[in-house]
Amino acid sequence: SLEEAVRLEPNHLSLYSLILEETTPLYRAVRAGRFPQVDSDLDADMYSYAMDFLGEMGFGQYEISNWAFGEDSQCKHNIQYWRNGPYLGFGAGAHSHYNHMRWRNISNISKYIHQAMENNKGIPPAVEDLQKLKKMDEIRETIIMGMRLTNEGIDIDNFFHRFGSHVHDIFGKEINRLLAQELIEEYHSSNRKGIRLTRRGRMVGNQVFMQFVE
């Protein structure tokens, strides 16, 4: 249980709802009636309880599914990912995002080594899938992933410096609608201003994110 996990005195906890993937034995077992279906109401109640309980225990929620005992315990790699920042992955099957491109290295180790030795110039070596990102795709991804960060959300100034446009100029209608529904909120602090999910918005995060999908 969550209480037992806290008694182990971790400095970080990641909590995810159960998602049944079609290719898994558990999915087939649920379909066959050997296990009950996921109860969405119970799932929401458990998530609400986790936010309350972990807050009382001194954990800060810094992302929809992640809590840390102090800022130093937050996952720096994942924060970089949720900010849609650049990162490089090395080795077979590794993923990278850099210079308006996203790519995945070859998963097969022998093929990866062979291709890396070829050292193709102009593109990352040993790439299995390379995608050049359009500006609007990066904007949408930045908003959707950034909204997962429960404290900072979308930093208005950082967004402008990165894309040369104000987020309200691009998605003003969507933002105003979500503000009226109290699913997001505007905030101002000494060094940052932005928009982020409300507690209610965290409960239905995917519904919020869909507003920014084409």
- Tens of pLDDT, residues 46-97: 999 999 999 999 999 999 999 999 999 999 988 999 999 999 998 899 999 9
The CATH number that domain 136-210 falls under is 1.10.10
The confidence band for 165, taking pLDDT boundaries of 50, 70 and 90, is: very high
pTM above 0.95, yes or no: no
Q: Where in the chain is the domain with CATH 1.10.10?
A: 136-210
Separation of alpha carbons 137 and 153, rounded Å: 18
Q: Which residues contact 192 (CB under 8 A, 6 or more apart)?
A: 152, 155, 157
The confidence band for 18, taking pLDDT boundaries of 50, 70 and 90, is: confident
